[in-house]
Chain A
Amino acid sequence: MSERLTVTELNTRVKELFSATPGLNGIWVIGEISNFKMYTSGHCYFTIKDSSSEIRAVMFKSARSRIDFDPKDSMKIEAYGHLDMYVERGSYQFIVESMKKSGIGDLFLKYEELKKKLEAEGLFKQERKRPLPQYPKTIGVVTSPTGAVIHDILTTTKRLYPADILLAPAQVQGEGAAQSIVNGIRLLNSVGVDVIIVGRGGGSLEDLWAFNEEPVVRAIVASEVPVISSVGHETDFTLADFAADMRAPTPTAAAQFAVRDKAEIFRQLDDFRIRSNKALSAVTDRMRARFNTAEAKLSPKRALERLEYLGMRIDELSLKMVSAVNSKVSGMRSRFAAAEKRPELALKASISRRRSESASLFTRVDPGMKAILTKQEHRESNLSARLDALNPYSVLDRGYSFVAGPDGRAVTSVRGLAVGSQITVRMRDGRIQADITDKEEYHE
């Protein structure tokens, strides 16, 4: 005799059957979402379908809170859960306990395959990587015109170094993104920039996908201009990153790779200044040493010419500065001219007069100019100290004498001086005529 059941009993029996059947519990259902609705309760109701069938599904609030994306219509998903009977309606539905977007696994597979292939071609090799220019005139950027990437690059480069920025706006995710990035790289190559930064901000693997596509990787490889990549977060490695000449973990870092910090360049310039000053004083030290030896060509006339000439050079140096400084230089020149006539007191007076003249000049010029003048003054006092060292009379002061032959010219060798001829010996405070009574030539 057949059993007689109420509807409720029947549906309850089906419900129990479902829960007792292993193949209907703890399973993954693969399909596409449609008719997605979330109620104010936080529960979600939707249909999961494939090309030829569909099933109603429920995801309760607690399950919804465990997934990290927003399910929506036409999204391909894999839902984990169990089959349940809604007894009151006599319909069954799939209770979703967890859900993930499908296709991610496929993407990983694609990524690995393409990576292997391009790696085998040698596109990611270290020796392919080109050095970045240190002082680019123009930095090309391929990214979205509205993202954080261009913002970070603009603010960072502004702070570091005055390079021009040329942005090739690109679509960095979704359909057509790869082509858009490729076009940007080509465009910047065609107009001639010095380095290219290509990138986008953080996102899911799908968001970053364009940077794993073969055309983008090949465009980076083909770029004649070195490329810095900055894709996603520090932990994301796209194939574009492997192909780039430099991979930056963030857009700010990309900007830092692209240029040198001008504060550091200024330090280097200052180092150059110190070194060239040092080198120049080494030269004058050598000169002084030469003049201090008795073999020096101590023709006062030539030395004076030389001083005049150096004075001219100083004039040239000062020309760009101010005429006030020039007058000081010409003062120096007249001081050397006076030195030839040997009025030492007058010389000293002249020097101190010049000094006070220029000192009063300094107080009249405005502070900015004064700074320049002080620098220039400092340089000239160095030069004037060096000129002092060249002054033949400072040598005479130290006990050397100057010997002139019968023709009045400086004598630097005993050759050509015969016993019996006359020479003039000039000392600090006067001169004597002397007869040569003996002669001996040293042979080395």
Chain B
Amino acid sequence: MSEEKQTKIDVENMTFEESITRLEELVKKLEQENLDLDESLRIYEDAVALREHCRKILDESERKVQSIMETANGLKKEDFRELE
């Protein structure tokens, strides 16, 4: 419980999977546990931050498309573009 209290989650460095998994846990916790207002607000805030983080990843992240090859000098990665 006390350990719960001090978790201030570092949303920015979480992967999408971590974020949405944690978000789901928090929502369930809010729904199921008999929390006081302070605790609820704290969790609610974290949930808002996580949801925003998830949305940001989906909306704003630029994906990389690369190819990878083994060459005499080791692995070589480069941007991949389809030939028209």
Residues of A within 8 A of B (CB): 133-135, 137, 145-146, 150-151, 154, 157-158, 161-169, 183, 187-188, 191, 262, 265-266, 268-269, 272-273, 275-276, 278-280, 282-284, 287, 310, 313, 316-317
B72 at the interface (CB under 8 A from A): no
A167-B67, A272-B51 known; A135 and B27 CB under 8 Å?
no
Q: In the assembled complex, which residues on chain A have CB atoms less than 8 Å from the CB atom of B43? A: 276
A166 to B75, CA, bound (A): 13
Q: Which 3 A-B pairs have the closest CB atoms?
A: A279-B30, A135-B17, A283-B40
The smallest C-beta distance from B31 to any residue of chain A, in angstroms, reads: 5
Is A272 a contact of B27 with CB atoms below 8 Å? yes
Closest to A183 in B: B70
A279 to B57, CA, bound (A): 26
Q: In the assembled complex, which residues on chain B have CB atoms less than 8 Å from the CB atom of A154? A: 65, 82
Is B47 a contact of A265 with CB atoms below 8 Å? no
Q: In the assembled complex, which residues on chain B have CB atoms less than 8 Å from the CB atom of A158? A: 63
Is B27 a contact of A165 with CB atoms below 8 Å? no
Q: In the assembled complex, which residues on chain A have CB atoms less than 8 Å from the CB atom of B67? A: 145, 166-169
Q: Which of B16, B35, B80 contacts A283 (CB 8 A)?
A: B35
Is B61 a contact of A162 with CB atoms below 8 Å? yes
Is A272 a contact of B24 with CB atoms below 8 Å? yes
Is B31 a contact of A165 with CB atoms below 8 Å? no
Is B31 a contact of A275 with CB atoms below 8 Å? yes
The contact sample of 6 A-B pairs, CB cut-off 8 A, is A145-B83, A269-B20, A269-B23, A269-B55, A283-B37, A313-B38
Closest to B51 in A: A269
Is B54 a contact of A310 with CB atoms below 8 Å? no
B64 at the interface (CB under 8 A from A): yes
User: Which interface residue of B17, B26, B36, B45 has the most chain A CB atoms within 10 A?
Assistant: B17
User: Which interface residue of A146, A272, A287, A310 has the most chain B CB atoms within 10 A?
Assistant: A272
Given contacts A265-B54, A310-B37, 14 further A-B contacts (CB under 8 A): A145-B80, A146-B82, A158-B63, A164-B66, A165-B64, A167-B65, A167-B66, A265-B20, A266-B55, A269-B23, A269-B55, A278-B31, A279-B31, A280-B44
The smallest C-beta distance from B58 to any residue of chain A, in angstroms, reads: 5
Q: Which of A137, A273, A313 contacts B41 (CB 8 A)?
A: A313
Residues of B within 8 A of A (CB): 15-17, 20, 23-24, 26-27, 30-31, 35-38, 40-41, 43-45, 47, 51, 54-55, 57-58, 61-70, 75, 77, 80, 82-83
A205 to B27, CA, bound (A): 52
Q: In the assembled complex, which residues on chain B have CB atoms less than 8 Å from the CB atom of A276? A: 26-27, 30, 43-44, 47
Q: What is the interface of chain B mostly: helix, strand, loop, or mixed?
A: helix
Q: Which of A166, A266, A275, A313 contacts B68 (CB 8 A)?
A: A166
Q: In the assembled complex, which residues on chain A have CB atoms less than 8 Å from the CB atom of B82? A: 145-146, 150-151, 154
A268 to B16, CA, bound (A): 14
A168 to B41, CA, bound (A): 48
A272-B47, A284-B37 known; A187 and B68 CB under 8 Å?
yes
Is B20 a contact of A164 with CB atoms below 8 Å? no
A161 to B58, CA, bound (A): 7
The smallest C-beta distance from A246 to any residue of chain B, in angstroms, reads: 18
Q: In the assembled complex, which residues on chain B have CB atoms less than 8 Å from the CB atom of A282? A: 31
A261 to B47, CA, bound (A): 22
Closest to B67 in A: A167
The smallest C-beta distance from B64 to any residue of chain A, in angstroms, reads: 4
Is A162 a contact of B63 with CB atoms below 8 Å? yes
A278 to B32, CA, bound (A): 12
The smallest C-beta distance from A239 to any residue of chain B, in angstroms, reads: 25
Q: In the assembled complex, which residues on chain B have CB atoms less than 8 Å from the CB atom of A134? A: 17
Q: In the assembled complex, which residues on chain B have CB atoms less than 8 Å from the CB atom of A273? A: 51
Closest to B17 in A: A135
A131 to B77, CA, bound (A): 28
Closest to B54 in A: A269
Closest to B77 in A: A166
Q: In the assembled complex, which residues on chain A have CB atoms less than 8 Å from the CB atom of B65? A: 154, 164-165, 167
The smallest C-beta distance from A309 to any residue of chain B, in angstroms, reads: 8
The smallest C-beta distance from A241 to any residue of chain B, in angstroms, reads: 24
A283-B36, A283-B40, A317-B45 known; A164 and B68 CB under 8 Å?
no
Is B80 a contact of A191 with CB atoms below 8 Å? no
A280 to B37, CA, bound (A): 8
Is A163 a contact of B63 with CB atoms below 8 Å? yes
Q: In the assembled complex, which residues on chain B have CB atoms less than 8 Å from the CB atom of A188? A: 68
